[in-house]
Amino acid sequence: MDLNLMRELSVKTDTKIVLLILDGLGGLPMDPSGQTELEAADTPNLDALAARSELGLSRPVAAGVSPGSGPGHLGLFGYDPLRFQVGRGVLSALGVGFDLGENDLAARVNFATKDESGRISDRRAGRIPSEKGEELVGLLNERLNLDGVEVFVVHEKEYRAVAVFRGEGLSDALADSDPQRTGLEPLPVEPADGSQEAKESARIADSFVEQANEILADQHPANTVLVRGFGMHPALPSFDETYDLDAAAIASYPMYKGLARLAGMQLLKEGEGIAGEFETLEANWEDHDFFFIHIKPTDAAGEDGDFERKASVIEEVDALIPMLLDLGPDALAITGDHATPAKMKSHSWHGVPFLLASPYTLPTADSFGERSCAGGSLGVFEAEEIMGYLMGHALKLNRFGA
Amino acid sequence: MDLNLMRELSVKTDTKIVLLILDGLGGLPMDPSGQTELEAADTPNLDALAARSELGLSRPVAAGVSPGSGPGHLGLFGYDPLRFQVGRGVLSALGVGFDLGENDLAARVNFATKDESGRISDRRAGRIPSEKGEELVGLLNERLNLDGVEVFVVHEKEYRAVAVFRGEGLSDALADSDPQRTGLEPLPVEPADGSQEAKESARIADSFVEQANEILADQHPANTVLVRGFGMHPALPSFDETYDLDAAAIASYPMYKGLARLAGMQLLKEGEGIAGEFETLEANWEDHDFFFIHIKPTDAAGEDGDFERKASVIEEVDALIPMLLDLGPDALAITGDHATPAKMKSHSWHGVPFLLASPYTLPTADSFGERSCAGGSLGVFEAEEIMGYLMGHALKLNRFGA
């Protein structure tokens, strides 16, 4: 999306936009003659909505390229995912609510198990419970003492945490210490370019690992840490300045909260489960003009290869659609950040079904599915364009040119 | 295609990709209510394959722009055809197996007939037989003596040859000497920009023509040469470095061999005819992970305006599809480099039917034709993206971003 064009044309109105993301929504038939998860799901409400909506297939990043959650969502928010790249450490830091400064360096930290020979025997430290993880993070924060930088370790979940290094002249051009496989020694953190900043940052990260090893020496199975996904805050233009939107986000997983915060959205406290997220939407309806709602379990079911469960999560969302429509959104998009076909048990590059409901649509089908979307009036288009369509359908863009 | 992205994400696997090109595959109905060549052809194997494939229409270069073979194929290989431009002389030089250096200047040479008034009476010298062409090339190589550069003339076929000038500071900013019509005098080779290199190169090319005229004076009808398509080696990133592929090419015409060599593909010795090319594929199946197969006669039939013959070439290829499928390619694309509708007797800009078979497809139709492809899940897309899709479907790309 041309963000300058959006900034130039955006106009404040009292219309409301909802972007409902079913993570990993796109799917595939398990065999060529079959249906996809979305096609197979019983979705009377989505189908009725499709019959008065625009349809299309959105492409997340580039032909054949499977996106991670970061690029997948940046595209949905209108940012070129190839231009704005976000390290996993940054997403995690924002996800736990850490107020990341512009010069902070963030990294993912996994507690892990090292055997007597110094090799990694478990990259997740036996999946220690969250209470234990929290206790170890406390120990690290108490005892770590790095030369020249402050360090903050924040617990995420179970064996996962985030480390944030705060100081002058840090760089995220750093390789992971995680060897990715058990039976190997952890790698030293190496600078990924020749800059002085990268060298100095690598030294700091290595000394972090070294001190953590000493602090955790008696904490088997969590007797070491692996660091990866170094990143710094990307300078994303906010939703407010780009689209003149007062945007709110409803998401239950840290990473998606983090992504929404990157775009300057306000995080709303979500209720329990999918229905709870819709209740949060209802409760906050008057206070914002843009809502991003993130539903995770579609992706999780796809990753597990569970076609039926993915279809049934879609059905659960379908049942909540009338509640959403009752709020009267002026422009409503329903799509995913990428496909996670149960057949592939992973994110994929395939086109993602996209539906846009507003009073100004050109309907082409009476069901919501990959193939009805393939024949839709939006064709196959870049996910990065979705915000443009939403702004247009909500009548929030001035005419371009005389 | 973003070649840096491909380079970053590519991963070596044991999956195999086949890119089968029917040159000029795209067609048109002879009258609006009719079928295209591909639609009219009886293609049970391609139709069955389509029913388990992704379909789309690929666009070679830009809206309304008919590509030559060079840009058509560069796009198929993932290179931006507007950025990477290749002179015809370069293609011919590579096609005859000439090991073109980075500073060499290549041009197509046609033996031609000049009448007593100095006008061109036959641009192909009565289509002299290949033996005669070869003899004349020998004469030229023996007697040419250019100031400051080496010159190599290599015979191609019948009246066609290639000249390669080797020296310092050469430029391919040169206009053709070929007047394109009989009854006109050949043009002097003019520099196409104001650079010293172009001026000096034009002087060299003109003195090449002048000496050739002397050498060929008694060789009626081949008593002169026309030079055209000046070009230098474009610095194309190879398939190996871009996609981490060990690529092989099977093509029966010099130009397509040349294009494949530009991309760093290994040329395989093809058997006789279309079936021979498929036999070559079978014989070399274990030795490469990417195969480009080029089938020429579809284009030739289209250029001749022979709808029936074009359809029957397609049927000949259809009959060989089972042999190809028996090899078990992990990702198989079947398409053309551009359309050559019999109705137009020339290359055209129309969308080219595209089929991609893999285990991870969203089929939308049960036949392979322009109109089934127009409704496919890939929509209308840039030919340059084909390699991305093939790499994705062959599971040769890492996920992008966290």
CA distances from A140 to A145, A200, A226 (A): 9, 21, 14
Both tokens of residue A326? Answer: 């009752």
Residues of chain B found within 8 Å of residue A62, distances taken between Cβ atoms: 1-2, 5, 385, 388, 400
Answer whether B269 touches A (CB < 8 Å).
no
Q: Which of A67, A85, A344 sits opposite B360 (nearest CB)?
A: A344
Q: B347-384 pLDDT, tens per residue? A: 999 999 999 999 999 999 999 999 999 999 999 999 99
Across B77-104, average pLDDT: 88
Q: Which of A65, A343, A344 sits opposite B400 (nearest CB)?
A: A65
How is A127-193 classified by DSSP, letter by letter? G--HHHHHHHHHHHHHH---TTSEEEEEEEETTEEEEEEE-SS----B--S--SSTTSPPPPP-BSS
Sign, CA dihedral B292-B297-B303-B307, equals negative
Angular region, B180: left φ>0, alpha ψ -120 to 50, beta rest: left
CATH class of A3-85+236-393: alpha beta
Note the pLDDT of residue B147: 87
User: Does pLDDT of B402 surpass 80?
Assistant: no
Angle, CA of B30, B32 and B35, to the nearest 5°: 60
Note the pLDDT of residue B304: 96
Best residue of B358, B385, B400 to probe chain A, by most A CBs closer than 10 Å: B400
Angle, CA of A290, A254 and A310, to the nearest 5°: 80
Residues of chain A found within 8 Å of residue B377, distances taken between Cβ atoms: 57, 350-351, 370-371, 374, 380
Residue of A nearest to B364 (CA): A371
Phi, psi angle pair for A334, to nearest 5°: -125, 120
Q: Inter-chain contact B399–A67, Cβ cutoff 8 Å?
A: yes
Answer whether A67 touches B (CB < 8 Å).
yes
Residue of A nearest to B3 (CA): A62
Note the pLDDT of residue A402: 82
Looking at chain B from residue 200 to 229, which residues have their Cβ under 8 Å from any Cβ of chain A?
none
Q: Inter-chain contact B397–A81, Cβ cutoff 8 Å?
A: no
Residues of chain B found within 8 Å of residue A349, distances taken between Cβ atoms: 388-389, 392, 397
Residues of chain A found within 8 Å of residue B385, distances taken between Cβ atoms: 62-64
Answer whether B189 touches A (CB < 8 Å).
no
Answer whether A191 touches B (CB < 8 Å).
no
Q: Inter-chain contact A66–B399, Cβ cutoff 8 Å?
A: yes
Note the pLDDT of residue B401: 87
Note the pLDDT of residue A94: 80
Q: Inter-chain contact A64–B391, Cβ cutoff 8 Å?
A: yes
User: At the topology level of CATH, where does B3-86+236-393 sit?
Assistant: Alkaline Phosphatase, subunit A (3.40.720)
The answer to whether the CB of A58 falls within 8 A of the CB of A352 is yes
Note the pLDDT of residue B360: 98
Q: Inter-chain contact B399–A70, Cβ cutoff 8 Å?
A: no
Best residue of A65, A347, A350, A371 to probe chain B, by most B CBs closer than 10 Å: A65
Residues of chain B found within 8 Å of residue A262, distances taken between Cβ atoms: none
Answer whether B4 touches A (CB < 8 Å).
no
d(CA A188, CA A177): 6
Residue of B nearest to A349 (CA): B392
Strands A17-22 and A290-295: parallel
The one-character DSSP state at A25 is B
Residues of chain B found within 8 Å of residue A343, distances taken between Cβ atoms: 359-360
d(CA B179, CA B185): 7
E-only strand ranges, A211-337:
224-232, 247-250, 266-267, 290-295, 331-335
Query: How far does the CA of residue A281 sit from the closest CA of chain B (Å)?
Result: 27
Query: How far does the CA of residue A260 sit from the closest CA of chain B (Å)?
Result: 15
**What is the residue type of B249?**
A
Q: Inter-chain contact A62–B2, Cβ cutoff 8 Å?
A: yes
- Secondary structure (3-state) at B384: helix
Answer whether A184 touches B (CB < 8 Å).
no
The answer to whether the CB of A263 falls within 8 A of the CB of A220 is no
Note the pLDDT of residue B94: 81
Intervals of chain A under pLDDT 70: none
d(CA A373, CA A336): 13
Answer whether B401 touches A (CB < 8 Å).
yes
ipTM of predicted complex: 0.88
A with B: how many residue pairs have Cβ under 8 Å apart? Answer: 112
- Secondary structure (3-state) at B156: strand
Domain spans of chain B, in order of start: 3-86+236-393, 91-232
Q: Inter-chain contact A57–B361, Cβ cutoff 8 Å?
A: no
CATH class of B91-232: alpha beta
Q: Which of A28, A36, A67 sits opposite B401 (nearest CB)?
A: A67
Which DSSP helix (H) or strand (E) runs through A73? Answer: helix A69-76
CA distances from A173 to A9, A195, A232, B179, B394 (A): 36, 9, 10, 57, 30
Across B179-196, average pLDDT: 94
Q: Inter-chain contact A370–B388, Cβ cutoff 8 Å?
A: no
Residues of chain B found within 8 Å of residue A72, distances taken between Cβ atoms: 401
Answer whether B397 touches A (CB < 8 Å).
yes
d(CA B388, CA B1): 7
d(CA A166, CA A123): 26
Short-list A84, A78, A83, A75, CA closest to A1 = A78
Answer whether A171 touches B (CB < 8 Å).
no
CA distances from A248 to A235, A268, A285, A289, A299 (A): 19, 7, 10, 8, 22
Note the pLDDT of residue A338: 98
CA distances from B379 to A261, B235, B327, B351, B383 (A): 34, 31, 28, 10, 12
